[in-house]
Amino acid sequence: MRITRLTVLGAMLLVVGCGGPLPTTGAATGTPAAIAQVRLFATSGTDLTVHTGLPDDQSVRLEARLYAPDGHRLTEIVGGVTMDLRFDPESLATSVPVPREPLERIVTALAPAGTAGTQMVDLFFPSAPSKTFGPFHVQVERGGPSNPEFRLFDAFNTDLTAHVPLVTGDTTRLEVRLYDAEGRRRTSFPSGAEVTFRFEPTTIATSAPVAGMPFVKDVTPTAPLGTEGSLFVSILFLADSTTKTYGPIQVLVH
């Protein structure tokens, strides 16, 4: 069984939108023709190539990093380069340039939370034809967690509460974490608890329990590439037989 990670997924994007080699740590100067891949990062270093979550209450600073066909990063482009972002639909978001940072944009959501779309990266050069990369998935998300007592993580501790990316042929291990009103994590409950995953449509994925880990499920996509759906997580507290359900959480097969 292979366990996926959001940052690893970014390496699987093609130049046209969904794939390519994992870039190495090398860096160099190149020509516009040498640019074969673009990846998007937040200022924190988080890879947002597969999925960019835009909070509805603040802006996000995005950086485009350029790579050659063999995977090494191009930190300088002969003659210079600038970038722009195009959103589909146009009402999804807007962006403005960052002074003295030609490969960075400040992105602000325009649409309400829950709205999904795509972004294209346009690169412009003084003496060469422009290049376009994408589309890359974008979704407007609530600025604060809608259910602060509930979060969803993968096996690499990536927070997937807003968006669960599933890779065809791979299995993603998801862990439900619950918190009290003060934000402290709750790891045990009187008499225990049972977790159930429900997908809509039901054909998008399946989940399987993990022995000895009641809050963990192994999720495998069963729908074609590009299929979108939702995940609902229900927790049955055995002490009083009450149930809480969280969702919908967006699911996308990559």
pLDDT at 119: 97
Condensed to tens digits (0 to 9), the pLDDT of residues 184-200 reads: 888 888 888 999 999 99
CA–CA distance, 27 with 84 (Å, rounded to integer): 23
Query: pTM surpassing 0.75?
Result: no
pLDDT for residue 4 is more than 90: no
To which residue do tokens 């325009």 refer?
110
pLDDT at 11: 39
Q: Can you tell me the mean pLDDT for 115-133? A: 97
pLDDT at 5: 44
Condensed to tens digits (0 to 9), the pLDDT of residues 160-169 reads: 888 888 989 9
DSSP character string of 167-219: -TT-BEEEEEEEE-TTSPEE---TT-EEEEEEEESTTSEEEEEETTEEEEEEE
pLDDT at 147: 54
pLDDT at 24: 44
Please tell me which residue, 241 or 222, carries the higher pLDDT value.
Answer: 222
Give the model's confidence band at 142: pLDDT under 50 very low, under 70 low, under 90 confident, else very high. Answer: confident
Q: What is the CA radius of gyration of the chain?
A: 20
Task: Give me the count of residues in the chain.
Answer: 254
CA–CA distance, 163 with 248 (Å, rounded to integer): 10
CA angle 97, 99, 105 (to 5 degrees): 25
Number of H helices, E strands in the chain: 1, 19
* CB-based burial label for 244 (10 Å; 0-12, 13-18, 19+): middle
Contacts of residue 64, defined as CB under 8 A and 6 or more positions apart, other chains included, come to 38, 39, 40, 83, 103, 104, 121, 123
CA–CA distance, 63 with 41 (Å, rounded to integer): 5
Question: Contact 253/225 with Cβ under 8 angstroms?
Answer: yes
Q: Can you tell me the mean pLDDT for 96-104? A: 90
pLDDT at 156: 82
Condensed to tens digits (0 to 9), the pLDDT of residues 34-74 reads: 999 999 998 778 889 989 988 877 788 899 999 999 999 99
pLDDT at 40: 96
Q: Can you tell me the mean pLDDT for 134-143? A: 88
User: What is the average pLDDT value for the chain, to the nearest integer?
Assistant: 85
pLDDT for residue 126 is more than 90: yes
CA–CA distance, 123 with 103 (Å, rounded to integer): 9
Please tell me which residue, 27 or 28, carries the higher pLDDT value.
Answer: 28
**Cβ neighbours of 14 (radius 10 Å):** 10
Q: Can you tell me the mean pLDDT for 216-231? A: 94
Domains of the chain (ranges, CATH numbers) = 6-141 (2.60.40.1080), 150-253 (2.60.40.1080)
pLDDT for residue 12 is more than 50: no
